[in-house]
Chain A
Amino acid sequence: MSKQYETVIGLEVHVELATKTKIFCACSTEFGGAPNTHTCPVCTGMPGSLPVLNKQVVEYALAVGLAVNCQINQYCKFDRKNYFYPDNPQNYQISQLYLPICHDGHVEIDTPAGKKKIGIHEIHMEEDAGKLIHDEWEDCSLVDYNRSGVPLIEIVSEPDMRSGDEVIAYLEKLRLIIQYLGASDCKLQEGSMRADVNLSVREAGSSELGTRTEMKNLNSFKAIARAIEGERKRQIELIEEGKPVVQETRRWDDNKESSYAMRSKEDARDYRYFPDPDLPPVVISDEWIGNIKSRQPELRTEKMARYQEEFKLSEYDADIITGSKHMADIFEAVTAICGKAKEAANWLMVEAMRLLKEHDMDPEEMTFSAENLAKLIHLVDNGTINRTVGKEVFEKIFAENIDPEQYVEEKGLRVVNDEEELRRVIEGIVSANPQSVEDYHSGKEKAFGFLVGQTMRSMKGKADPGAVNRILKELLG
């Protein structure tokens, strides 16, 4: 490759809002449920039914918009996007085109070159579609409208990102902000956060944008990173071969690590957008905006500062713990119960992070209760168990959310404080390892550690490490 290329990326991110009911009716938004049980005449588009806007949707959209520094359209409207497809019961989707609720915002991301602003073109509210199930066996298609009318916001970025890393950083940032606001759980796998990637390449230094493609079906950050890399390469190859990049929508297949064209610009639909006459304009007063601002929960930056100030955590620790809203929630709950912030932070930073990595899990997937971690901290702190046993117990808490007090009793894991028993065991270890004793006396510190280890092993880890050290030193003279 002789030339240098620059990748230009913009994102369209759909986020399912955490409202209890749908955007235009009172049906539940709960995930799952037998097909077509969370439905009514409105979300199945029955003739004569009418949409009524869920105010909470506006509040969440406003909260997100304000948190990403957007301007608010204080007179915003809903428009109909017309297209025929059976997952869309009215054959139009109620969305916003002409006057979206938020516009012209930005978020700041960290890049190796320092901080970078990613512009947000607009945020609009819309309804989700139902789910089509194709039954190959029966050769028919079925529709489940449970998801029809679940509220979404679409966050449209400017084409400000230049690499997969920047895209991931932007998405992580958005996800955290939205999770902190409580506006959505933003789970990519479950589809409560979905990203479409608009990507083009151009020769480095060029000021004109190349022809872009839009990629859909990206279900994880990893898939997004792979898809960006794949599409970047594909477009550069086309350019190098002197072939045109076609403006089209492509579907990413993460198993095959390649994409295929879904539809080209020529088949682009004319959605015939027009203002929905069933929904009066949404008028957002200064007071309403003020109210949302005042109710804005603590966001990550504020939380980080507070953790350093209030709990004396290091910046590094505060950064890691606030890196997940769920982790921060656990941290605060544990601290509130046991009053030991440093300990709580340590368990989460070291053990929890290790286990997450080991199991390839997101912090959001941790299911143990703060009470159980607080109990564990207490058990270690008052010497009921030692730290080594504590780690073993934590693994149980992490995996099965066991009650550590009960578990320690049942498994007999209490620290042995019986001085005589301990002395007897250590005497046995010393006499069984003459070589190590000799090494110790000849100045090899490692040998002491070996003997401690042997003792702990023989005590199944239940010995108080302080006592082991003291007795061993005494016996070795």
Chain B
Amino acid sequence: MTAKEILSLTAVQLGKKIKDGEVTSVEAVKAVLDQIKAMEPLLNSFVTIEEEKALEQAEEVQKRIEAGELTGPLAGVPVAVKDNICIDGMKTTCSSKILWDFVPTYTATAVENLKRSGAVILGKTNMDEFAMGSTTETSAYGATRNPWNPDHVPGGSSGGSCAAVAAAECFYALGSDTGGSIRQPASFCGVTGLKPTYGTISRYGLIAYGSSLDQIGPVAKDVTDCAAVLEVLASHDEKDSTSVERKDCDFTEALRDDVKGMRIGIPADYLGEGLDLEVREAVLKAARILEEKGAILETFDLGMVEYAIPAYYVIASAEASSNLSRFDGVKYGYRAKEYDGLHGMYKKSRSQGFGPEVKRRIMLGSFVLSSGYYDAYYLKALKTKALIKKAFDEAFSKYDVILGPASPSTAPKLGESLSDPLKMYLGDIYTISVNLAGLPGLTVPCGKDSKGLPIGVQFIGDCFKEKNIIRAGFAFEQNRSYEMPQMAADAMAGKEEK
């Protein structure tokens, strides 16, 4: 197979070809490393690339596949991991200066699960610093650019993972989603991203941002890949007390092109003011395709939508202010060069080590937890969270799946969002409440705007009902073929000519 042929495959397709002996894991890794070399100067999707380790792993995995020890659908397939997920011996920075040299001595359970299935890890992908942001511009290691148009952002915070998948720099990637950090950049980059029900994938080894909202999830070229990867990632983990024991993790079982009788609700509150008309059009078109396939569509009022953003920023920031207090220059990571005493060291190391968005959220979180403000902000936000969950519970008593946009617009230009953080926060409106309610959400590409930027449709399921959204997403994507950004295709074409 040519490099271009290899790189055009989905993860599951590649896994099958490796198993069938049509291509080796080493060939796939080499192809993808070449693509990384071609794309990285333009995109900056990666913070760390482990070329040698990846080739070594590929050789080992290939042997085990040939020996019949590894038989899973993803054995030998190269993957990229978001830089907030710990891997033993591999630099893990959260795209922050404060962890510039941090090398964990342990591996996240999600990555252990991947390794057990024969995944080959290429390196760590860029992200908004500590997953705080919607553009991957807050990274201390430079912004990642959108492969569809490098003047635009890839979204965030898993912008590196989504851009890398879109640009064929890997076959799938791990992201993390606290308020939309998988689904929104997947939508901006024209790839598929899934955030499972809270507790489905172990958080052990995921560097926490908002612990009660964080979930790891897959980013891939299609729904089939996402389901297959999720099947590998989901596990009950004794090392994570919030991990849930599930018996229904055979997610690929739901890959059926059948939505007959599926009840799909479209929240009217998701289609109103602030939503880009082209996005609205594309999302409604996706809904109509499912209707044609036999789904029952209905528009309804979800409610509570306007409260999701303030509740989210209070809860996530409160948790973050505490979670990030361990980065103090004492044990690992960045320490200021000159300082006066212990408190001077804390202050200087943290002032110099954290970027402005992280500082903003630490200050916000510290404020809402302060005595005298706790009840008014933090407790009220928790109550709001409970009401949002209740609104979804009511909706899911009527619908199997909720359908809507993933983001009010397509990817903005670089630099547009950072100047107005409030506007950036409002961009999370369709994804955030899913985290507050602990629900699963899936974004699937559904078209492009007039600027040629991808648009994603989001499917939201009830808790533990990933199979419903996988089925809806799979049925929908049967109507379209995977589209690769021109830039990525050109890089491959260039190689063919040589």
On whether the beta carbons of B207 and A84 are closer than 8 Å, the reply is: no
Q: Is B321's beta carbon under 8 Å from chain A? A: yes
Question: In the complex, what residues of A have CB within 8 A of residue B343's CB?
Answer: 84
Known A80-B322, A82-B322, A84-B328: A52·B241 in contact at CB below 8 Å: yes
Q: Is B106's beta carbon under 8 Å from chain A? A: yes
A73 to B325, CA, bound (A): 30
A138 to chain B, nearest CB (A): 16
B313 to chain A, nearest CB (A): 15
A279 to B240, CA, bound (A): 9
On whether the beta carbons of A48 and B322 are closer than 8 Å, the reply is: no
On whether the beta carbons of B241 and A274 are closer than 8 Å, the reply is: no
Interface 9-residue window, one of A86-94, A361-369, A375-383, A393-401: A86-94
Cβ-defined partner of A52 (8 Å) among B104, B212, B239: B239
B349 to chain A, nearest CB (A): 11
A92 to B331, CA, bound (A): 15
A46 to B323, CA, bound (A): 11
What is the total number of residues of chain A having a CB less than 8 Å from a CB of chain B?
28
On whether the beta carbons of B207 and A270 are closer than 8 Å, the reply is: no
On whether the beta carbons of A47 and B99 are closer than 8 Å, the reply is: yes
Q: Which of A48, A82, A278 has the most CB of B within 10 A?
A: A48
Known A89-B326, A274-B369: A47·B86 in contact at CB below 8 Å: yes
Q: Is the interface of A mostly helix, strand, loop or mixed?
A: loop
Interface residues in B65-105 by Cβ distance below 8 A to A read 84-86, 92, 94, 99, 102, 104-105
On whether the beta carbons of A41 and B241 are closer than 8 Å, the reply is: no
B203 to chain A, nearest CB (A): 6
On whether the beta carbons of B211 and A277 are closer than 8 Å, the reply is: yes
Known A274-B374, A277-B212, A278-B211: A52·B238 in contact at CB below 8 Å: yes
On whether the beta carbons of B207 and A48 are closer than 8 Å, the reply is: yes
On whether the beta carbons of A51 and B86 are closer than 8 Å, the reply is: no
Interface residues in B309-353 by Cβ distance below 8 A to A read 318-319, 321-322, 325-328, 330-332, 342-343, 346
Known A82-B322, A272-B370, A274-B318: A48·B238 in contact at CB below 8 Å: no
Q: Which residue of A lies closest to B350 (CB)?
A: A84
On whether the beta carbons of B328 and A91 are closer than 8 Å, the reply is: yes
Question: In the complex, what residues of B have CB within 8 A of residue A86's CB?
Answer: 328, 330, 342
Q: Is B108's beta carbon under 8 Å from chain A? A: yes
Interface residues in B101-149 by Cβ distance below 8 A to A read 102, 104-106, 108
On whether the beta carbons of B208 and A91 are closer than 8 Å, the reply is: no
A262 to chain B, nearest CB (A): 16
Q: Is A417's beta carbon under 8 Å from chain B? A: no
Known A46-B104, A51-B241, A53-B241: A270·B325 in contact at CB below 8 Å: no
On whether the beta carbons of B206 and A48 are closer than 8 Å, the reply is: yes
On whether the beta carbons of A47 and B203 are closer than 8 Å, the reply is: no
On whether the beta carbons of A50 and B240 are closer than 8 Å, the reply is: yes
A269 to chain B, nearest CB (A): 10
A277 to B315, CA, bound (A): 10
Known A272-B369, A272-B370, A280-B242: A47·B108 in contact at CB below 8 Å: no
Interface size class of B (residues with CB under 8 A): 35 or more
On whether the beta carbons of A41 and B106 are closer than 8 Å, the reply is: yes
Q: Is A7's beta carbon under 8 Å from chain B? A: no
Interface residues in B363-378 by Cβ distance below 8 A to A read 366, 369-371, 374, 378
On whether the beta carbons of B204 and A48 are closer than 8 Å, the reply is: yes
Q: Is B441's beta carbon under 8 Å from chain A? A: no
A92 to B326, CA, bound (A): 8
Q: Is A461's beta carbon under 8 Å from chain B? A: no
A398 to chain B, nearest CB (A): 47
Question: In the complex, what residues of B have CB within 8 A of residue A41's CB?
Answer: 104-106
Q: Which residue of A lies closest to B106 (CB)?
A: A41
A273 to B368, CA, bound (A): 11
A90 to B327, CA, bound (A): 8
Question: In the complex, what residues of B have CB within 8 A of residue A48's CB?
Answer: 84-86, 92, 104, 106, 108, 204-208
On whether the beta carbons of A270 and B205 are closer than 8 Å, the reply is: no
Contact with B along A51-68 (1 / 0, CB 8 A): 111000000000000000
Q: Is A37's beta carbon under 8 Å from chain B? A: no
On whether the beta carbons of B241 and A278 are closer than 8 Å, the reply is: yes
Question: In the complex, what residues of B have CB within 8 A of residue A46's CB?
Answer: 104-106, 332
Question: In the complex, what residues of A have CB within 8 A of residue B204's CB?
Answer: 48-50
On whether the beta carbons of B326 and A90 are closer than 8 Å, the reply is: yes
A309 to B270, CA, bound (A): 78
Q: Is A45's beta carbon under 8 Å from chain B? A: yes
On whether the beta carbons of B241 and A90 are closer than 8 Å, the reply is: no
Question: In the complex, what residues of A have CB within 8 A of residue B212's CB?
Answer: 277
On whether the beta carbons of A47 and B207 are closer than 8 Å, the reply is: yes
On whether the beta carbons of A92 and B106 are closer than 8 Å, the reply is: no
A86 to chain B, nearest CB (A): 5
B242 to chain A, nearest CB (A): 6
Q: Which residue of B lies closest to A271 (CB)?
A: B371
A50 to B84, CA, bound (A): 14
A316 to B92, CA, bound (A): 67
Q: Is A44's beta carbon under 8 Å from chain B? A: yes
Q: Which residue of A lies closest to B346 (CB)?
A: A84
A134 to chain B, nearest CB (A): 11
Question: In the complex, what residues of A have CB within 8 A of residue B374's CB?
Answer: 272-274
Q: Which residue of B lies closest to A278 (CB)?
A: B211
Q: Which residue of B lies closest to A145 (CB)?
A: B331
A46 to B208, CA, bound (A): 11
Question: In the complex, what residues of A have CB within 8 A of residue B342's CB?
Answer: 86
A95 to B253, CA, bound (A): 43
Question: In the complex, what residues of A have CB within 8 A of residue B203's CB?
Answer: 50
Task: Other than A48-B207, A277-B212, A279-B241, give 16 A-B pairs with Cβ distance below 8 A.
Answer: A41-B105, A46-B106, A47-B86, A47-B99, A48-B206, A49-B204, A49-B205, A50-B203, A50-B240, A80-B322, A82-B322, A84-B328, A89-B326, A90-B326, A273-B369, A274-B374
- 8 A–B contact pairs at CB < 8 A? A47-B104, A48-B204, A91-B326, A272-B321, A273-B374, A277-B211, A278-B211, A280-B242
User: What residues of chain A have their CB less than 8 Å away from a CB belonging to chain B?
Assistant: 41, 44-53, 80, 82, 84, 86, 89-92, 143, 270, 272-274, 277-280
